[in-house]
């Protein structure tokens, strides 16, 4: 059984940043619309069933660093993964090795896209957090001992949620952990013609101590599209 096709789709400044003041410009807004259209628009290029996000990305955009409200007294939590019932066909796959995210709902909205949340936990997460997720009807899978094992996570997403194509959606730490594990087939970068020179904000790929190393990976250019407003859309295959 082959694994799902994984493409990393990211929006960057000219200097490869994925966050920063460059985003507060009209030029960036225009390129951002193209970024959305390619992966989520009506005539989207990619037909994926869900997108993966790192814990920091989820806190920055959706859970806003809220603490999960955990009960101390709860019924026994069945071992293993939990697949919640819902009627959406799009998933937001949240990498959360320690069970830190303070979700308040099992659904989220990104522009016009509605998605059901799946938490990807490691074995070190306690039953109190799993009970918290079950109460919210949030699906979860367990993949990895202390940190997330990308290979096992993708295998479970395929088996339990029938995923055939998955978007690796950042940030830089998550992207690099999947690329280093050989779990990314394609890189799609929408580059806006703006830079802000920030040196302390994350780039497209970031190593994290104890998780990944600065080991070179090469890419083969698949296509390049240029737009009148100066935006570039670059597609590369990862030379795994
Ligand atoms: N421009 C774009 O297209 C774009 C797209 C997405 C995100 N972003 C931005 O990027 C910023 C965050 O990027 P970032 O690189 O700092 O963080 P990130 O990749 O969003 O999250 C990093 C965290 O994810 C967890 N993680 C990632 N891979 C893991 C693995 N294999 N095993 C276990 N845990 C893993 C760790 O969480 P713990 O710390 O809990 O262990 C790690 O600290 C956000 O501000 C977001 O808005 C931009």
We report the CATH number of the domain holding residue 136 as 3.40.430.10
Q: What ranges in 41-94 are assigned the alpha helix state H?
A: 55-58
CB neighbour list of residue 46: distance below 8 Å, 6 or more residues apart: 7, 9, 38, 39, 165, 167, 188
Mutate to test the pocket of ligand 1, among 28, 125, 150, 171 (most ligand atoms within 8 A of CB): 171
The pLDDT of 185-210, averaged and rounded, is 97
Ligand 1 near 98 CB (within 6 A): yes
Cα 176 to ligand 1 centroid, rounded to whole Å? 10
User: Whole-model pTM?
Assistant: 0.97
The reply to whether 192 falls in a domain is no
Cα 94 to ligand 1 centroid, rounded to whole Å? 10
Reported confidence tier of residue 211, pLDDT bands at 50, 70, 90: very high
**C-beta of residue 71 within 8 angstroms of C-beta of residue 131:** yes
Cα 82 to ligand 1 centroid, rounded to whole Å? 23
The pLDDT of 145-149, averaged and rounded, is 95
Count of domains forming the chain: 1
Cα 125 to ligand 1 centroid, rounded to whole Å? 18
Domain that holds residue 52: 5-182+198-238
Tens of pLDDT, residue by residue over 33-88, are 999 999 999 999 999 999 999 999 999 999 999 999 999 999 999 999 999 987 88
Tens of pLDDT, residue by residue over 82-139, are 999 878 889 999 999 999 999 999 999 999 999 999 999 999 999 999 999 999 999 9
* CA nearest ligand 1 atom 29, residue: 174
The reply to whether 98 falls in a domain is yes
Cβ-based burial of 146 (10 A; exposed 0-12, middle 13-18, buried ≥19): exposed
Ligand 1 near 187 CB (within 6 A): no
Ligand 1 near 179 CB (within 6 A): no
* Per-residue pLDDT, 1: 66
The reply to whether 34 falls in a domain is yes
Ligand 1 near 54 CB (within 6 A): yes
Cα 97 to ligand 1 centroid, rounded to whole Å? 11
The reply to whether 187 falls in a domain is no
The reply to whether 136 falls in a domain is yes
* Per-residue pLDDT, 85: 87
The reply to whether 134 falls in a domain is yes
The reply to whether 231 falls in a domain is yes
- What mean pLDDT is reported for the chain? 97
CB neighbour list of residue 220: distance below 8 Å, 6 or more residues apart: 236, 237, 239
* Per-residue pLDDT, 190: 98
The reply to whether 65 falls in a domain is yes
């Amino acid at each position: 059984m082959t694994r799902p096709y994984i493409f990393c789709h990211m929006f960057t400044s000219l200097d490869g940043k994925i966050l920063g003041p460059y985003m507060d410009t009209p030029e960036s807004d225009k390129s951002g619309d193209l970024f959305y259209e390619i992966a989520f628009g009506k005539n989207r290029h990619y037909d994926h069933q869900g997108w993966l996000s790192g814990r920091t990305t989820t806190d920055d955009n959706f859970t806003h660093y809220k603490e999960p409200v955990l009960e101390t007294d709860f019924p026994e939590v069945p071992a293993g993964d939990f697949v919640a019932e819902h009627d959406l066909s799009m998933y937001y796959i949240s990498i959360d090795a320690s069970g830190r995210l303070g979700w308040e709902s099992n659904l989220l909205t990104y522009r016009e896209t509605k998605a059901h949340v799946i938490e990807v936990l490691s074995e070190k997460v306690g039953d109190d957090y799993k009970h918290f997720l079950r109460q919210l009807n949030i699906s979860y899978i367990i993949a990895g001992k202390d940190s997330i094992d990308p290979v096992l996570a993708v295998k479970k997403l395929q088996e339990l949620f029938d995923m055939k194509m998955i978007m690796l959606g950042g940030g830089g730490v998550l992207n690099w952990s999947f690329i280093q594990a050989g779990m990314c087939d394609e890189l799609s970068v929408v580059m806006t013609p703006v830079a802000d020179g920030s040196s302390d904000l994350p780039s497209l790929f970031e190593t994290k101590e104890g998780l990944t190393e600065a080991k070179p990976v090469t890419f083969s250019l698949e296509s390049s599209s240029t737009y009148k407003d100066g935006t570039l859309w670059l597609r590369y295959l990862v030379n795994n």
